[in-house]
Amino acid sequence: MINICINFGIYHDIVFNLKKAVSMSVGNSVSCSPVRSLHMRGSPIVWVSKIQYLGICFVNKKGFMC
């Protein structure tokens, strides 16, 4: 999926900000342990337990919370 997004970005002149790209697991897992590491253009994508977007904080608990 990441490769599809990167290829779409290259074709449409979209540059992804790798400093802001993060991953968050959602589900029954309380911990934020990645299944495997993800990379975008050779740079690792950091795993986080919460994301703030447009003033809304998304949190990974035993489910998905806002």
Regarding pTM above 0.75, the answer is no
Say how many Å lie between the first and final Cα of the chain, rounded.
25
Half-sphere exposure at residue 60, Cβ-oriented, CA atoms within 13 angstroms: 17
pLDDT digit string (tens) for the chain, length 66 residues: 888 888 898 899 988 888 888 888 776 655 555 567 788 888 888 888 888 889 888 887 766 665
What strand order describes the sheet that includes 64-65?
50-53, 56-60, 64-65
